[in-house]
Homo-oligomer: A and B are copies of this chain.
């Protein structure tokens, strides 16, 4: 196994945490292109250089540490949510640094990366999506954050660091280590999870439009109440999903807006979000069909006008069989009987990179299943176990 150094790895994780430390628990505030994010990336570049790697920064601000020749790529992202945990993608970035550094010392070429804007200040996994050609840089430049800042303007803040595009064909594959962000490993007392696939996502906004009216003078049977139509729709899909979904399937309505939103007015319009995730493309499509059919039926039944936004469709990404096998073998070697195969319900940079090369992912437990919050944490023993499984897998793949 590449001779990784757990103490150095943990020290680096804590150093990275100092960039944008929230002062609340171990939390960090390090959104993409913020001062702490750019400072963290400068520090990373210096670590890469100190390890004898070639530093390359692509036009999005993703920072690479390149080993000579063709090599495995190991990394994740160091930007955080506006209120983020200290591990999240940072864990994968420091795993990558330690593996590349230890590899360089041991003569095993391993490259590393911290992708930019995984957390979606401007989109979702923006840096890795542009690198993998899912989105063009021109399209990305049009994206605007909540405060009206464009991607174009934001990435200009790192322009002095940019060296140019990084050729993906120099990498043989990509390994990403990440916290689970869910409860399974932690509750089972297991050390790591080898990801089988990253689920696909469908996401859209639906709107029923009926008739705004007086909540006192309009009898129930004469109403075209858009909220009631939405209730009927939700009941219908819950019923029809029963024989389609698996225990891994999820669906969420996280946003609802009624117009005009007054206690005394029968709402004339109801807009709401629908998002569903599953590892199987056919199931995602069957759910889309149920959703569209149920909404059309309810609209017909209740005299509503139905409209829907474009549907965002991210396809499921299966992990590469041989990279997975290396991770599984390494897990059985390092933490025998204390690992499982599992799906990733969250999106990760590996999903973008999967368009370019074989990819695989390793999860470590999240205490209490908490993530995207200052309270996010993982036992240090589990962090080190994750590093060792990754190092063993990289050694097997070298």
| A residues in contact (CB < 8 Å) with B | 180-183, 199, 201, 203, 205, 213-222, 225, 227, 231, 234-235, 247-258, 261-267, 273, 275, 277, 344-347, 369, 371-372
Contact = CB atoms under 8 A, between A and B. Distances in A.
24 contacts: A180-B217, A199-B216, A201-B216, A203-B264, A214-B371, A215-B250, A216-B344, A216-B346, A216-B347, A217-B345, A217-B346, A218-B369, A220-B250, A220-B251, A221-B247, A225-B252, A231-B234, A231-B235, A252-B263, A252-B266, A254-B263, A254-B267, A255-B267, A256-B258
A267 B227 CA distance: 18
A11 B136 CA distance: 67
A301 to B, nearest CB: 15
Contacts of A182: 214, 217-219
B252 A275 contact: no
Interface core residue of A182, A254, A255 (most chain B CB under 10 Å): A254
B181 A217 contact: yes
6 shortest interchain CB distances as A-B pairs = A182-B217, A216-B345, A215-B252, A263-B273, A217-B345, A216-B346
A209 to B, nearest CB: 15
A347 B257 CA distance: 27
A346 B214 contact: yes
Given A234-B231, A263-B252, A275-B263, A183 B247 contact: no
Contacts of A225: 252
Contacts of A344: 216-217
Given A219-B250, A231-B234, A248-B219, A181 B214 contact: yes
A255 B250 contact: no
Contacts of A222: 183, 369
Nearest to A245: B220
Contacts of A372: 214
A254 to B, nearest CB: 5
B265 A254 contact: yes
A231 B216 CA distance: 23
A141 to B, nearest CB: 24
Nearest to A187: B222
Contacts of A346: 214, 216-217
Interface core residue of A215, A218, A219, A277 (most chain B CB under 10 Å): A215
A383 to B, nearest CB: 19
A326 to B, nearest CB: 24
A181 to B, nearest CB: 4
Contacts of A221: 247
A195 B221 CA distance: 21
A216 B277 contact: yes
Contacts of A213: 369
A254 B262 contact: yes
Contacts of A264: 203, 252, 254, 275
Contact of A263 (B255, B257, B345): B255
